Amino acid sequence: MFEYKQITNSEAIKFILPRHYSGRKPNAQHSFGVFKNGELKACVTFGVPASNHLCRGICGEQHKKQVLELNRLCRTDDFSEPLSKLIGFALRELGKIGNFVIIAYSDTAMHHIGYIYQATNFLYLGKTKSRTDKCYGNGRHARHATSANEVYRVIRSSKHRYVTFIGRRKFKKEALKNLKYKISPYPKGESRKYKLGTFLKDEIVGLPYL
């Protein structure tokens, strides 16, 4: 009844954009989906994180080129099959391609705990710190903007951080040995769902960028 397979990145982005709370196009380099009767019901995407500091900071300089972020996980409202099956399938398929350090985040602002990553045996590395980002006057993030058009800063919420290693056994042992974060017990709490079609709005702080 259900068919799990790799899909094109453009197919995944088309599916994700009207459904995911961020409302932003992901850097999708590897995409996987589950189909029911030929209709795409859920997908997951992976891509290289935008931050080189993050890539180096997980398992050191020697593994920075092997870091991928699980950056989107999305399904239709009527799909009830456990998404852990899709993630498990995707990780197995990526393991056939090469050795990877997979990082994933759950947004506390959306009341997400990351139970899906706990169910797929990711390691928990604690929470990121909340911070503010540069943005344009319309609220869009502006990593490379000039001070002339940076008007506000926006709050970036704290996120639960998870990691797993896929590929050869020797690589997994080496990457785990070089992990730069302390492995912590899984967090618990209430995890809420958001309605499809609703997006997370950055909270604009009324302070000019200096």
- Rounded to whole angstroms, the Cα distance separating 171 from 177 reads 10
Over residues 60-74, the mean pLDDT reads: 95
pLDDT for position 154: 55
Over residues 147-175, the mean pLDDT reads: 80
- With respect to residue 8, please indicate whether it lies within any of the assigned structural domains: yes
- With respect to residue 199, please indicate whether it lies within any of the assigned structural domains: no
- With respect to residue 179, please indicate whether it lies within any of the assigned structural domains: yes
Q: Are 44 and 131 in contact (CB under 8 A)?
A: no
- With respect to residue 32, please indicate whether it lies within any of the assigned structural domains: yes
List, in order, residues 6 or more apart from 116 with CB less than 8 Å away.
73, 83, 84, 87
- With respect to residue 15, please indicate whether it lies within any of the assigned structural domains: yes
Q: 140-178: string of b/e by CB count within 10 Å (b at 16+)? A: eebeeeeeeebbbbbebebbbbbbbbbbeeebbeebeee
pLDDT for position 47: 96
**Is this structure's pTM higher than 0.85?**
no
Range of the domain at 12: 2-129+159-186
- With respect to residue 209, please indicate whether it lies within any of the assigned structural domains: no
Per-residue pLDDT tens for 105-124?
988 676 678 899 999 999 99
What domain count does the chain have?
A: 1
- Rounded to whole angstroms, the Cα distance separating 155 from 110 reads 13
The enclosing domain of 105 has a CATH number of: 3.40.630.30
Over residues 148-176, the mean pLDDT reads: 82
List, in order, residues 6 or more apart from 3 with CB less than 8 Å away.
34, 35, 36
